[in-house]
Chain A
């Protein structure tokens, strides 16, 4: 929370940047970059998120505590993904067969 009044102009510039990034991410989707399509899309989404957090949510002018909390939240989310993936990336995986599951079983 801050009582610094941000000029209206700033908000409008940020908004225009965000719209530009949306157009960019949509446009890039029509160019074949192989696996980098995903990377670029996520990078753009990440920078859009940063803009919203820093300017619209005004974290730029917030206390260190708030910043730590935000970083911690994303860190925990990363832990969830990383440790779950650590199993999946190193596991022998066989896609599901369908032979047994076409109909729910009847209970005796």
Chain B
């Protein structure tokens, strides 16, 4: 987002975009809205990087022999795809872009509690990203994003240290963001904004921040130990000195399973906002939906062992982890039921954000239900490590989190940019993404059940039909992702000017001009009503 595209309009009121000009005003900004845009640009960059790795992978798998690259290169592709997409796109996506932009606006504050820390966290993220990009250029890394020992620590000859350092550093960016949000939500709510008047997006960000603060440090120390082992050739997790490779997996998944909830909880928050707005209804069972976010955050910490059912983990531990994994499905199910019930007797419109939200519910439901196959011990034995797992987590993380992210971007774009995008194109893109996504990943469920293991650079010929279907779907999906990139960019200059509240939504962020002024509110608002008080809105509000 360069400043050149955002020239001042004649008579344009002062806002955060035209408050100041020049690269310095962006790189040294302490304004949470500008930092959100810095994140938007950088995660879009990483999304394109990670996406191109995915494209290469899907091309490779068209041919059972491997169509374009050597197995070594393919291994680097899926590793970097995972590392970039998870640590540099999905984890910061909604929290760092939409969260940064919206948390202060939604609580009715002038900024986050610690603006300098906020800018610092972006710089930390960039430094971590540079390490990872460096490793890509310097030869890549081939351990899989899970960095399982002893392969990563002893046997891999690739840039393990550079990527480990990159992930370690980026972790602190996410810790600082989470810390900032928790303090802001606790201490900076506008007068009258009680906990149970908060929009559900804030509840979701709060739950997410808890995971970031409690989980990420464990990943940091695990990666640190891995790097020590790799650099000094000492055996911490390798059996040479009596270490246990499974200990690495325990520590790794203690963070990396909850990390899935870092990706999906914010998307759930976004979807709650969108559904309430476009059906003009208060979210059905508001308190239950709010608490279910917190329940997911807490329970999500206790299920990591389901990644290790076939590793030689104790049978008893496996049974406990399986039980807890089933339990975490319940709050997710409750959310889906409540969103559905919200539509009942609503006034539903089909604007683009709503289509993305509906796409989210569809794909998330599929992803969640197929999670039961993997939480269940007997079927997991067969499905673990196959394409079934790949399909399942893409339904959650791409079908769920990315759909939610795009829905959120479309919902708040008029607020962020002050411009409107063409609704028809946006609806078309939502449909293409939904269809392309299912074409890409549904065949992978079947592939996995048939027994095709993941991370294979070449494969037995009988799996070809389904792989070609998946690759064909991926081209549709790729096109779907490019369309919003084009029209959103176009709208920044040519889109019609957006009013302060184009959707007729409730929430403090809509009570300030679009785009908001640097100080967010000319006067700190006072909240007098519940969240989503659509019924009390005056008719013909917009």
Chain A residues within CB distance 8 Å of chain B: 65, 72-73, 76, 79-80, 83-84, 86-92, 95-98, 101, 104-105, 107
Residue of A nearest to B313 (CB): A87
Interface residues of B in 300-358 (CB under 8 A from A): 301-302, 304-305, 308, 312-317, 320-321
Q: How far is the CB of B240 from chain A (nearest CB, A)?
A: 4
Beyond contacts A83-B305, A90-B315: 18 other A-B pairs, Cβ-Cβ < 8 A, are A72-B214, A80-B218, A83-B302, A84-B254, A86-B314, A86-B317, A87-B308, A87-B314, A91-B313, A91-B317, A95-B242, A96-B240, A96-B243, A101-B235, A101-B238, A101-B239, A104-B233, A107-B157
Residue of A nearest to B150 (CB): A101
Answer whether A105 and B155 are a contact pair too, CB < 8 Å, given A83-B302, A96-B240: yes
Interface residues of B in 226-266 (CB under 8 A from A): 233, 235, 238-243, 246-247, 250-251, 254
Q: Is the CB of B314 within 8 A of A104?
A: no
Q: Is the CB of B247 within 8 A of A96?
A: no
List residues of chain A with CB within 8 A of the CB of B186: 65
Q: How far is the CB of B514 from chain A (nearest CB, A)?
A: 35
Answer whether A84 and B250 are a contact pair too, CB < 8 Å, given A90-B314, A90-B315, A91-B314: yes
**Nearest 3 pairs of A and B residues by beta carbon:** A96-B239, A91-B314, A87-B317
CA distance A97 to B301 in the complex (A): 33
Q: Is the CB of B242 within 8 A of A104?
A: no
CA distance A98 to B239 in the complex (A): 8
List residues of chain B with CB within 8 A of the CB of A73: 214
Q: Is the CB of A76 within 8 A of B214?
A: yes
Q: How far is the CB of B309 from chain A (nearest CB, A)?
A: 11
Residue B491 CB within 8 A of the other chain: no
Q: Is the interface of B mostly helix, strand, loop or mixed?
A: helix
Residue from B157, B214, B218, B301 whose CB has the most chain A CB atoms within 10 Å: B214
Q: Is the CB of B320 within 8 A of A80?
A: no
CA distance A65 to B195 in the complex (A): 14
Q: Is the CB of A79 within 8 A of B314?
A: no
CA distance A35 to B155 in the complex (A): 39
List residues of chain A with CB within 8 A of the CB of B214: 72-73, 76
Q: Is the CB of A76 within 8 A of B240?
A: no
Residue of A nearest to B320 (CB): A86
- What are 23 pairs between A and B in contact, CB < 8 Å? A73-B214, A76-B214, A79-B302, A83-B304, A83-B305, A83-B320, A84-B247, A84-B250, A84-B251, A84-B254, A86-B317, A87-B246, A90-B317, A91-B313, A96-B240, A96-B241, A97-B239, A98-B240, A101-B239, A101-B240, A104-B155, A104-B233, A107-B155
Interface string of B473-505 (1 = CB under 8 A from A): 000000000000000000000000000000000
Q: Is the CB of A79 within 8 A of B250?
A: no
Residue of B nearest to A73 (CB): B214
B301 contact from A79, A96, A101, Cβ within 8 A:
A79
Chain B residues within CB distance 8 Å of chain A: 154-155, 157, 186, 214, 218, 233, 235, 238-243, 246-247, 250-251, 254, 301-302, 304-305, 308, 312-317, 320-321
CA distance A92 to B218 in the complex (A): 26
CA distance A46 to B246 in the complex (A): 29
CA distance A91 to B244 in the complex (A): 12
Residue of A nearest to B255 (CB): A80
Q: Is the CB of A80 within 8 A of B240?
A: no
B305 contact from A76, A87, A92, A101, Cβ within 8 A:
A87
List residues of chain B with CB within 8 A of the CB of A95: 242
CA distance A87 to B315 in the complex (A): 8
Q: How far is the CB of A54 from chain B (nearest CB, A)?
A: 22
Q: Is the CB of B312 within 8 A of A91?
A: yes
List residues of chain B with CB within 8 A of the CB of A76: 214, 301
Q: Is the CB of B157 within 8 A of A80?
A: no
Residue of A nearest to B239 (CB): A96
Q: How far is the CB of B149 from chain A (nearest CB, A)?
A: 12
Residue of B nearest to A80 (CB): B254
Answer whether A87 and B155 are a contact pair too, CB < 8 Å, given A73-B214, A96-B239, A96-B240: no
Q: Is the CB of B238 within 8 A of A90?
A: no
CA distance A89 to B320 in the complex (A): 14
B242 contact from A65, A84, A89, A96, Cβ within 8 A:
A96
List residues of chain A with CB within 8 A of the CB of B218: 80
List residues of chain B with CB within 8 A of the CB of A101: 235, 238-240
Q: How far is the CB of A24 from chain B (nearest CB, A)?
A: 31
List residues of chain A with CB within 8 A of the CB of B239: 96-97, 101
Q: Is the CB of B316 within 8 A of A90?
A: yes
List residues of chain A with CB within 8 A of the CB of B250: 84, 87
List residues of chain B with CB within 8 A of the CB of A96: 239-243
Q: How far is the CB of B291 from chain A (nearest CB, A)?
A: 17
CA distance A73 to B182 in the complex (A): 15
Q: How far is the CB of B284 from chain A (nearest CB, A)?
A: 30
Q: How far is the CB of B22 from chain A (nearest CB, A)?
A: 39
Q: How far is the CB of B187 from chain A (nearest CB, A)?
A: 10
CA distance A86 to B315 in the complex (A): 10
List residues of chain A with CB within 8 A of the CB of B321: 83
Q: How far is the CB of B138 from chain A (nearest CB, A)?
A: 18
CA distance A69 to B112 in the complex (A): 20
CA distance A72 to B317 in the complex (A): 23
List residues of chain B with CB within 8 A of the CB of A91: 312-314, 317
CA distance A98 to B243 in the complex (A): 12
List residues of chain A with CB within 8 A of the CB of B238: 101
List residues of chain A with CB within 8 A of the CB of B305: 83, 87
List residues of chain A with CB within 8 A of the CB of B308: 87
Q: How far is the CB of B69 from chain A (nearest CB, A)?
A: 18
Residue from A73, A80, A89 whose CB has the most chain B CB atoms within 10 Å: A80
List residues of chain A with CB within 8 A of the CB of B320: 83, 86
Q: How far is the CB of B18 from chain A (nearest CB, A)?
A: 39
Q: How far is the CB of B104 from chain A (nearest CB, A)?
A: 20
Residue from A84, A87, A89 whose CB has the most chain B CB atoms within 10 Å: A87
List residues of chain A with CB within 8 A of the CB of B241: 96
